[in-house]
A and B are shown apart, each in its own frame.
Chain A
């Protein structure tokens, strides 16, 4: 069987998830290239391709002009993967979605110029095209990505955990941040990252998004019990999950 042709594409984002691809080292990366052909990747190469077996799309959908580019990629690709938090959930870009004055705040009176246009809300790419699989996280976990690609190459359906980050902390025997007088979003955050942040003493910010049916009301109560003000408890989870909150 010919090696599957894979392309990487970037929309609104920081391109950090693409950078993660360069962090495997020589052995793992050259091994990966024995199983897939990377045929299009603007950030790293000038070559272009027609048909793609797998398109990995990074970045969120924030400008109407991006819809056509997304549709064109969808037409060329058998499988579309939303690659990273911005593509999968809107990610950090959606943190401004609850505001209306963000254009004026950054660009002042020039904000109305056509070349500075941006939609009211930053959305996941699934708002524009059909997405087959999601690689969550800000940034992605590069080994989870290898696992997903490996499952696809073997004709399997990639398995993404559906449980909360708290489960991973228990498994790692990480002391709960609430025990240390801190706060954390681990109880409603989608797992799969291995919970590195709480292990390093920083709260989980739910960069992979929420688990299904998160109990936002309880979350607010728990956050308040950890000393956060009512307002802060209400807005705490907005950093990475703005499109998944009940206010969206």
Chain B
């Protein structure tokens, strides 16, 4: 290995949601600095919900994130329902599961098709690809529109959904609307197949890098964990352990890092990962057969320890969410007791409640306490991107020496580090807001 100097200073990393910096300083071959910084402006949501009525809290915490606002809304109203002794109907649960699938699909197509694809195709953004790969970009935009329309049928809209509220839905979609949605989905199936083929054809461009870490995800006996379930961890050797949602703090163990306005987390190891790859590693067996088939084409079998393949796991999940939603829609359409005028379930009490939901970027926790009048007295939200910051840092600490050992060029090292962060699909405004790489020569 050459005794080289290297400085990388990426201030406000591009093609990620929120603001982050990458800072690297290598002097005569010795790494003096290799840091992932999160300088996003803090937003103080936990303080903002205090004094707000239980019916408003979901509308407030939805605004934590523009991309995962469906997941935040669901996590929030589920925690509120838990606090208020509300048990929603099976119909509500099914509709919420479709909504959750829509969000995962919508966010994953945005991430893989618009933010990551340029790296795999050697472009700085999606805009030059309109010239060079016009048909693929049009396919991605149609699939993105599908995700948006899919979520809007159930949730009113996808950015800060309006209809999901504590106790059920303020407005329930009609059977005709569900039929129309089913048709829209099936109309886009050829586009989805094309997209999967394109990804499979360039999957060789995902960098090779492996680091054994712990994977944390929602897990359920009923389905591939997304909408509800236990907290499960999967160790690099495949050993799994489950925790009740009420014990989530035993898993998250938040702490404050000087590199970040976001709080970090750790469990059995010095860090853990959340997100599509964590779900894939924890719950692979429950994927839809068509999604498993895509995993096989991509050569992925749990436990996958290459973080760059989080984006590939997202594509597998898109296929899963697509087919699972069609199945749930068929169940609802075949249900003679489907009730478009279903009343909201009213609170039985006001107390404390917790919930977990998988958002596109990983496991999310919301917790609130209400006073006797249903006014919120406190909250806690633990966001997936925060849970990944510590893991990104430890990936960096293994990746940089490997890249230096391989005598990679400065620009190659910078790109590999940027792509690593992007692979986690960080949602930093959620976690607070920031991404910036700095190399020093």
A residues lining the B interface (CB < 8 Å)? 10-20, 22-26, 29-30, 33, 38, 41-47, 59, 62-63, 66, 91-93, 95-96, 99, 101-103, 105-107, 110, 113, 115-116, 118, 138-139, 196-197, 200-202, 205, 229, 232, 235, 239
Contact = CB atoms under 8 A, between A and B. Distances in A.
B322 to A, nearest CB: 17
A138 B125 contact: no
A93 B432 CA distance: 12
| 9 A-B pairs with the lowest CB-CB distances in the bound complex, closest first | A16-B66, A45-B125, A25-B145, A102-B47, A201-B170, A26-B141, A14-B66, A46-B124, A12-B41
B221 to A, nearest CB: 33
Given A14-B63, A118-B42, A200 B142 contact: no
A229 B373 contact: yes
Interface stretch (B12-20, B94-102, B240-248, B399-407): B12-20
Contacts of A99: 47, 50
A189 to B, nearest CB: 14
B42 A93 contact: no
Contact of A200 (B162, B258, B260, B375): B162
B46 interface: yes
A239 B56 contact: yes
B48 A33 contact: no
B361 to A, nearest CB: 13
A235 B433 CA distance: 28
B165 interface: yes
Contacts of A62: 41, 43
Contacts of B118: 46
A23 B14 contact: no
Given A41-B125, A235-B51, 16 more contacts: A12-B41, A23-B148, A25-B145, A43-B14, A44-B14, A45-B124, A47-B127, A96-B48, A101-B47, A106-B46, A139-B159, A197-B156, A200-B163, A200-B170, A201-B163, A202-B163
B258 A113 contact: yes
Contact of A239 (B15, B59, B137, B375): B59
Contacts of A47: 124-125, 127
B349 interface: no
Contacts of B39: 115
A85 B361 CA distance: 25
B145 A24 contact: yes
A229 B52 CA distance: 12
B109 to A, nearest CB: 9
Contacts of A59: 41
B: contact size bracket = 35 or more
Contacts of B141: 22, 24-26, 29-30
A138 B145 contact: no
B216 interface: no
B48 A46 contact: no
A45 B145 contact: no
B110 interface: yes
Interface of B: 12, 14-19, 39, 41-44, 46-48, 50-53, 56, 59-60, 63-67, 69, 110, 114-115, 118, 124-127, 130, 137-139, 141-142, 144-145, 148, 156-160, 162-163, 165, 170-171, 256, 258, 260-261, 373, 375, 429-430, 433
A138 B157 CA distance: 12
A110 B125 CA distance: 38
A30 B373 CA distance: 51
A138 B114 CA distance: 23
A117 B157 CA distance: 34
Nearest to B40: A12
7 contacts: A14-B64, A16-B69, A23-B158, A24-B141, A44-B114, A118-B41, A200-B171
A16 B159 contact: yes
B48 A92 contact: yes
B22 to A, nearest CB: 13
Contacts of B156: 196-197, 200, 202
A103 B44 contact: yes
Contacts of B52: 239
B34 to A, nearest CB: 18
A44 B116 CA distance: 10
Contacts of A18: 66
Nearest to B255: A110
A115 B258 contact: yes
A25 B142 contact: yes
Contact of B14 (A30, A45, A103): A45
A46 B125 contact: yes
Given A43-B17, A44-B114, A38 B127 contact: yes
Given A24-B145, A66-B41, A202-B170, A44 B125 contact: yes
A94 to B, nearest CB: 9
Contacts of A95: 48, 60
Contact of A33 (B17, B69, B125, B130): B130
Contacts of B433: 12
A42 B110 contact: no
Contacts of B16: 43
Given A14-B64, A66-B41, A116-B261, A196 B124 contact: no
B165 A93 contact: no
A162 to B, nearest CB: 24
A73 B47 CA distance: 31
A46 B256 CA distance: 30
Contacts of B43: 12, 62, 93
B44 A106 contact: yes
A14 B39 CA distance: 15
A44 B157 contact: no
B422 to A, nearest CB: 11
A58 B43 CA distance: 15
A148 B410 CA distance: 43
A30 B126 CA distance: 12
Given A202-B163, A239-B60, A115 B261 contact: yes
Contacts of A107: 42, 256
Contacts of B130: 30, 33
